[in-house]
Amino acid sequence: MWDNLQLLFVWAPIINVQVILDGIFVGAVFALSAYGLALVWGVMNIKNLAQGDFVIMGGYMALALHQLHVPLVLILLIVMPVMFMFGWIVYVLMIRRIIDQDMFVSLLATFGLSLLLQQVMNLIFGPEVQTIDMELPVYDAFDNMVTVPSSKLITLILAGVIATGVIIFMKRSRAGQAIRATAQDPRAARVLGIDIDRVYAFTFAFNAALCGAAGVLVSIIWVIQPFYGITYSVRSFAIVTAAGLGNLPAVIGAGFGIGLFEKYTGAILGTAYEVAAPVSILLLVLIWRQIQMRRNRQVVR
């Protein structure tokens, strides 16, 4: 660890640039799936444990389409609507029935869904690790100490475009307004003529589409495997817990924050600890919140 710190800050400070860039690329992808979770959590109070599996599902769809030589932008335009429809079906078949139940039912049900999706993907695509290699050029700088693959740059741009689209959609469109209204007060929304069931279905489907988009990006810059979903679920939960529900800029900020934290943890402690980093953040945030709330807590003596 001491060696790694010296390496980062004394011997070769230039690699900080690489670590920071990697953190930003990672964070952009996390932010997408985390925002979907924040929506579903905030609007419907469903904690979707299958979040990461939706991501991997999007990845496998992208892989299948890539093998048919479909260009990247078209892949996104196909995967997002397909995942949207898939999300809608899952809502109708399953989520609708558990929405009024207590928290554990939603956790159990989505955990079951997660297992089901993993096994189905395993049956269809096999257990091998796969990736989309677009064979795009790689830019390097500082005597090859910093490399930026164009695939990651494209990913960052696409993530930015999708996030901007989502912000505008939530602020300006009627559907976005209806979602926000339902999140604030479902009963009042219903009184005012909003079809809550449709809003819920739309929100869940929208989340699946966002995860699908994240999955496409993941399959381009890293590798996917049917059982990798859990790591994306964990990161999404960590980001949402840190950022709070329904606040998109905060989710994006937390996404980048966790991305950077993860990469620095990896650089200093070793790659194995990268996955542990978001979990430790989750823990710290929860402890911090406890302390904060303590101030507001009043006890009648």
Closer of 122 and 164 to another protein (Cβ): 122
Q: Which is nearer to another protein, 46 or 159 (CB)?
A: 159
- Answer for which of 145, 279, 286, 287 binds another protein (CB under 8 A) is 145
Bridge partner list, 224: 130
Tell me, residue by residue from 87 to 106, as one string, x for binding to another protein by CB under 8 A and - for no binding.
Answer: --------------------
By CB under 8 A, name the one of 71, 81, 112, 127 that touches another protein.
127
Cα 207 from chain centre: 10
| 11 lies in the binding site for another protein (CB under 8 A) | yes
Element (H, E) at 272: none
Angle at 113 between CA 111 and CA 116, to 5 degrees: 115
Burial of 129 per CB tally in 10 Å (0-12, 13-18, 19+): exposed
**According to the binding rule CB under 8 A, does residue 66 interact with another protein?**
no
Indicate the Cα dihedral angle 274, 279, 280, 283, nearest 10°: 170
Q: Rounded to the nearest whole angstrom, what is the least distance from the CB of residue 230 to another protein in the complex?
A: 7
* Consecutive H or E run containing 14: none
C-beta of 276: minimal distance to another protein in Å? 8
Angle at 298 between CA 292 and CA 301, to 5 degrees: 145
- Rounded CA-CA distance 229/165 in Å is 25
Among 129, 168, 188, 279, binds another protein (CB under 8 A): 129
Residue 160 interacting with another protein (CB under 8 A): no
Q: Which two tokens stand for residue 218?
A: 């993941």
Residue 26: CB minimum distance to another protein, A = 7
Q: By C-beta, is 47 or 274 nearer to another protein? A: 274
- DSSP conformation letters of 20-57: HHHHHHHHHHHHHHHHHHHHHHHHH----TTHHHHHHH
CB-nearer residue toward another protein: 22 or 209 = 22
| Least distance (Å) between residue 267 CB and another protein | 5
Could you give the string, one character per residue 255-274, with x where binding to another protein holds by CB under 8 A and - elsewhere?
A: --------x--xx--xxx-x
- Contact string 211-250 vs another protein (x = CB under 8 A): -------x---xxxx-xx-xx-------------------
**Euclidean distance between CA atoms 29 and 110, whole angstroms:** 22
Q: How many distinct helices (H) and strands (E) make up the chain?
A: 13, 2
- Where along the sequence are the contacts to another protein (CB under 8 A)? 3-4, 7, 11-12, 14-15, 18-19, 22, 26, 122, 126-131, 133, 138, 140, 144-145, 147, 149, 151, 218, 222-225, 227-228, 230-231, 263, 266-267, 270-272, 274-275
